Structure 1
């Protein structure tokens, strides 16, 4: 352990940086200070509240012997990011997956493999293929895919949405944000220079809306019905980590638009060091105090603390943070996240099935991992259930053993008696769509034994003779709120009230001595590991 009174730093006039938080943002910033900016080891001090580093990166090696299981972040988003470049540089093994969930770039198949995904419409017991031509499903995806294009025209000013064009705010209106449905009883949104007509039945149009629109408002205005609203909730909203009604429409458009545009030396590290106070004196010296009274002193402080810690006032800042920054903290939300992980001793689902979005279901999203033959245990398949925001809260409202049972029962219900195709190019084919999307050709519950046979085009065809529960051997539940008290959440999303200035306020430094990093300060690429890394570079 290392401690410094700060006297040497003041006398030598060398900058000494104290970093708060040992997640990816803090670690990256510390690394860059030493390797790229020439700071000496003793003048870069990273303080982490818990007994481990990594923040929302956490790997478990005990659940399956010989296999590293990610309990936190596990996906690399895109091949043009700092994380992807780092993975290539380090030679980390990566596997290309489909982009399944709306809000995560999907639904879009991978370019270099034949993986596929499904959308389970729980209320109707329907299973849609990734490229289903169901008109309501296509309409939902078209609308969500258009959000990025809406941002250049939409600005959030003083709590009101304004439509702009190249010549400035339009004086001619109303103009439709979404084409109104033909049915007079459906909802529509109209945007003018100074007012927003709320999504209400058309005969009631003309009422002013005095608060920003939510993503649910936009979906309703676009004519998305109940069934597909459930898919949007399980796919897009679960990915964002918030309820549709709590997610800013303008903020979502902004984030989607920005998303599209998108060493060997060491430093001093101290874990089990929860910070309680950061105080700057008139002379510019910063004193950082631990909950147990220990102190560190330096000339500069970088806060890479989770948004929850800042929102809840766990750390006292002296002088107090500016009101604009405190307000910006509240315009972002840190969603709750839970993973429900099931392991199986044999493969009972098609190997090329990467994942499934599940509306009106206990677990809104599953992805599947097919494991190599390990020396012990014989586990060959994992089902990772992912829930965020209010869906995570529903999962954690029951005991872990009950959550595991409900997740397993859901998988049984989803795949009981369904036909499947194995092999390359199975999505987009008529026989696959007939078997899954249209719910025709479904094998009866008393299926023939699970098999792979040669079919037309070299595809194997089979039915699920075994339900997933027949191969289940154990599971675990990891709650990123209850199990991670110094993090208390997953990733950030734009709350109602978010505007284009929120990002600037979150990232702004104070007096050139107090700086802020973390994925919440990098909202254009937020919700990702590379957002945290890039904020550390900044």
Structure 2
């Protein structure tokens, strides 16, 4: 058995032929599963016999980072914590001694509850005009104000209103094309889908139930440090994908892995991503009830891509954090900066010093995923050149109109090309920051992407392409045990999350962001549902001790 940071971890399915009986089995080693296991393990009154089964070779689920691109680990999954109020995850970070940087909620992208006044750090790039809108201009821009007012006022809507897509809702509001494009880039993309897939009733419920306050939190270390912290002392079996679950009211549950290993328990908490349930990766005996199956199929989860680019110098304004982009390849970008981290030898090995992250989800991500990683990076760099390049040495940010997305990409959106070639990335980077949630990865370097074209470039016109040092594309659809981004408020799915969260026979419990009806899917939602499932088991096992 390979040794790990914690001596009670098992790096593989070595339980074949052994009878294992536990009090609680938690399937899924992401934040929801670890929150549940931690709560049960800490309870210390008869429920400490808990084991976590993780299909992947590391814990963390969608919390993962890469190294070698920048002088700090770069998150390829979630980057931010939500909210100052009622935040269990923030309390964990404070217990760990993290330094926490707060950003006003409304300067970021998931701002369903934001103020209508736009933060001074916000910018919008209107690709069809080739124009960057500053914060002061945004406060007076009719279309920008209008789109925020529409989504802000969802909290005032009747929760029993007939369901429709947000595309239909905006059409009923009579909005113009610019407002629609802003809604797609700002709200739908951040929710993880398109406006056509975004459900009105679930958006209303989310708006009315958000309790976490108007702050985003950035830690001084990778989010995987929270995974490390929560998993200390837990019994964890890695590389243990569950393929079959038997459950009965009198005997509890029995689980099988791919290689035939089995484990039995009194209770099961299932925290796998929605796509794993939708694609029937796990077989249930008896089969799941029709109501549960209907809820699983009605909750939407599309693909998500993060495009991460490292540069030798910054070519954007010093106060810039994020930009919402319409009629562009990347609907939203932001810049990141964290403290440098040295490896054990005191060396700092990184391709670039400055990082820009692009994010796309839903149908845009589906289309982009048909391109090679190299082509995705080229499209992203072309967009940044259009956004931040100057004309004749002018310092204005208003360059030429964004190249739409390019015709080639637009063709891909219209007719997904399944025959596209995949560019082989460059040499594999050594990991100077070993950790639980480190992604195996290869980075595409400057020379591999640009070859000899750079000699003729003018930095003023192509600042991104010229200073590009390396990049990485994270396509979450390709992660075997995730298969997409995260769930979104879905059309005709009102009530499905509550149905999904209901236990089966008092033996099988469900957790994960998809089971939380009142939170735009995030780390806080995952953590809260894990603790909710653990509390349900504690109430059943020891009701007098609550």
Same fold (TM over 0.5): yes
Matched, 1:481 2:454: no
Larger Rg: 1
Rounded to whole Å, the distance in 2 between the matches of 1:38 and 1:265 is 19
Offset, 1:373: 6.7
Residues 521 and 26 of structure 1, relative CA distance in 2, 3 Å threshold:
same
Q: Quick one: which of 236, 241, 266 aligns to 2:187?
A: 236
| Runs of 5+ unmatched residues, structure 2 | 1-9, 214-229, 342-347, 401-458, 533-546
Q: Which whole-Å deviations, capped at 9, do the CAs of 1:26-62 have from their partners, x for residues lacking one?
A: 1111111111253565x21111111111001002123
Rounded to whole Å, the distance in 1 between the matches of 2:117 and 2:340 is 25
**Is the CA contact (8 Å cut-off) linking 2:32 and 2:511 kept in structure 1?**
yes
Q: What is aligned with 2:498?
A: 504
Q: Quick one: which of 90, 101, 111 aligns to 1:104?
A: 111
Matched, 1:358 2:325: yes
Matched, 1:117 2:144: no
Q: What is aligned with 1:219?
A: 170
Tell me: higher relative CO, structure 1 or 2? Use CA pairs within 8 A at least 6 residues apart.
Answer: 2
1:132-281 correspondence runs (5 A): 132-150=139-157, 153-155=158-160, 161=162, 212-260=163-211, 266-281=233-248
Q: What is aligned with 2:455?
A: none
Offset, 1:275: 0.7
Offset, 1:109: 9.8
Deviates more, 1:513-522 or 1:219-228: 219-228
Matched, 1:471 2:476: no
Q: What is aligned with 2:56?
A: 50
Rounded to whole Å, the distance in 2 between the matches of 1:122 and 1:478 is 24
Counterpart secondary structure, 1:118: strand
**Is the CA contact (8 Å cut-off) linking 2:498 and 2:516 kept in structure 1?**
no
Q: Which whole-Å deviations, capped at 9, do the CAs of 1:62-118 have from their partners, x for residues lacking one?
A: 333x4111010111111121112222221223333353455434765999xx86121
Q: Quick one: which of 336, 345, 360 aligns to 2:312?
A: 345
Rounded to whole Å, the distance in 2 between the matches of 1:420 and 1:353 is 20
**Is the CA contact (8 Å cut-off) linking 1:6 and 1:298 kept in structure 2?**
no
Rounded to whole Å, the distance in 1 between the matches of 2:338 and 2:507 is 48
1:290-329 correspondence runs (5 A): 290-329=257-296
Counterpart secondary structure, 1:46: strand
Residues 295 and 264 of structure 1, relative CA distance in 2, 3 Å threshold:
closer
Q: What is aligned with 1:390?
A: 363
Counterpart secondary structure, 1:341: strand
Q: What is aligned with 1:333?
A: 300
Matched, 1:523 2:517: yes
Rounded to whole Å, the distance in 2 between the matches of 1:301 and 1:17 is 6
Rounded to whole Å, the distance in 2 between the matches of 1:370 and 1:352 is 12
Q: Quick one: which of 85, 90, 96 aligns to 2:91?
A: 85
Rounded to whole Å, the distance in 1 between the matches of 2:231 and 2:64 is 22
Counterpart secondary structure, 1:213: coil
**Is the CA contact (8 Å cut-off) linking 2:311 and 2:355 kept in structure 1?**
yes
Counterpart secondary structure, 1:18: strand
Rounded to whole Å, the distance in 1 between the matches of 2:143 and 2:44 is 54
Q: Which whole-Å deviations, capped at 9, do the CAs of 1:367-415 have from their partners, x for residues lacking one?
A: 0124557755583311100111112112212100010011000001112
Rounded to whole Å, the distance in 1 between the matches of 2:338 and 2:17 is 51
Q: CA RMSD in A?
A: 3.0
Offset, 1:335: 2.3
Deviates more, 1:232-241 or 1:274-283: 274-283
Offset, 1:349: 1.0
**Is the CA contact (8 Å cut-off) linking 1:49 and 1:275 kept in structure 2?**
yes
Counterpart secondary structure, 1:407: helix
Rounded to whole Å, the distance in 2 between the matches of 1:86 and 1:281 is 35
Q: What is aligned with 2:508?
A: 514
Matched, 1:495 2:502: no
Counterpart secondary structure, 2:296: helix
Rounded to whole Å, the distance in 1 between the matches of 2:392 and 2:337 is 19
Rounded to whole Å, the distance in 2 between the matches of 1:110 and 1:421 is 30
Residues 241 and 282 of structure 1, relative CA distance in 2, 3 Å threshold:
closer
| Runs of 5+ unmatched residues, structure 1 | 10-14, 162-211, 423-434, 444-462
Considering fraction of residues, name the structure with more strand. Answer: 1
Residues 253 and 8 of structure 1, relative CA distance in 2, 3 Å threshold:
closer
Q: TM-score, normalised by structure 2?
A: 0.74
Q: What is aligned with 1:18?
A: 25
Q: What is aligned with 2:354?
A: 381
Q: Quick one: which of 103, 124, 132 aligns to 1:127?
A: 132
Counterpart secondary structure, 1:496: coil
Counterpart secondary structure, 1:524: coil
Residues 379 and 515 of structure 1, relative CA distance in 2, 3 Å threshold:
same
Residues 57 and 378 of structure 1, relative CA distance in 2, 3 Å threshold:
closer
Q: Which whole-Å deviations, capped at 9, do the CAs of 1:473-524 have from their partners, x for residues lacking one?
A: 1111010111x1101112111221122x223201111111110010101121
